[in-house]
Amino acid sequence: MQFLKSIFRAFGACIRYINTYFKTFVFLFIIALILMPSSDSKSSLSNLAKVELNGEIFNVNATLEALNKLKDDESIKGVLFIIDSPGGLFAPSMELALAVKDLQAKKPVVVYASGTMASGSYLAGVGADEIIANPASFIGSIGVIMQGADLSELANKLGIKPQVIKAGEYKEAGTFTRAWNEQEKVYLQELIAQSYDLFTEFVAKERNLKLEEKDKWANARVFLSAKAAELGLIDELGNLEKAKKRVEELAGVQNPSWKEPDALDKLLNKLNAQALSFSKELLSSLLLSSNQLEAR
């Protein structure tokens, strides 16, 4: 019964979310279409551009598209990649890292760590020409983790019994329907170790660091910017304006003109942020309901 209540509560949250935000989104979308710059606007004369990476790294399609467009845009001579992210999934983070490397091969790229540049977001920006960080930024957390819940006791209380048909000994490794056996733990640990090696090797190559000293600059530790600079994880401390000036210097443009994101992009970013926020609230609500049920 409690489980059904949590489902109805989640459904109610969805309805309230739609009622609260849908009309606003429609209105903002119409305004964005009206304000979208024309081809002869100032943005078409720009020679420098910014790309931002905010929040957890899951779906990075929009950021990848922005980086790839700038790579092929011959009018853009330099790019500032602003990062404030705790990281996220390993594969999308590597996609961003490779895209930044491709971009850097054609034009200068400077990363500005505005708040947090850790784990996957550090990997994403490590291939830039230079990394400048806010003095209060958290940098590093070079490590890989796999987590999973064992929900077998909760399932038993609900009267749920898993049924599995599989081909391949390790196909069920990482399941949440039971505790992992020792053989699965060894296999998963090897997978994580290989991922960690890939991560640290990439960082060592891009930052000119000694791989044999990775326990000093990696090992999943987070550093404040000054210590990160001392270890070679970033180049220097500064603010956003300093990072912009550095892009202008590296690009060698006589009359710097920064490309502004169009109104539609701003709207889509806002919608994406709202959707992520709603997803987190919904997940928290469901977990709270499950924990209350388990406590009984």
In the residue annotation, 171 being an active-site residue is answered as yes
Beta-bridge partner residues of 109: 79
The whole-angstrom separation of Cα 106 and Cα 94 is 19
From the candidates 6, 85, 114, 119, which is the catalytic residue? 119
- Residue 55 CA to residue 260 CA, distance in Å, equals 21
Distance CA 185, CA 148 (A): 11
Q: Which residue has the tokens 């910017």?
A: 225
Residue type at position 44 = S
Q: How far is residue 282 from each of residues 75, 105, 171, 286, 289, measured CA to CA in Å?
A: 43, 42, 29, 6, 11
- Beta bridge partners, 80, equal 50, 110
| Cα–Cα dist 265/271, whole Å | 10
State whether residue 149 is helix, strand or coil.
coil
Cα–chain center distance at 87: 5
Pick left, alpha or beta for residue 244 (phi over 0 → left; psi -120 to 50 → alpha; otherwise beta). alpha
229 within 8 A of 235, measured Cβ to Cβ = yes
Catalytic entry in 42, 171, 185, 205: 171
- Give the three-state DSSP class for 115: strand
As to burial, measured by CB atoms within 10 angstroms (0-12 exposed, 13-18 middle, 19+ buried), residue 38 is exposed
Residue 103: name the closest of 66, 59, 57, 153 by CA.
66
Catalytic site residues?
119, 171
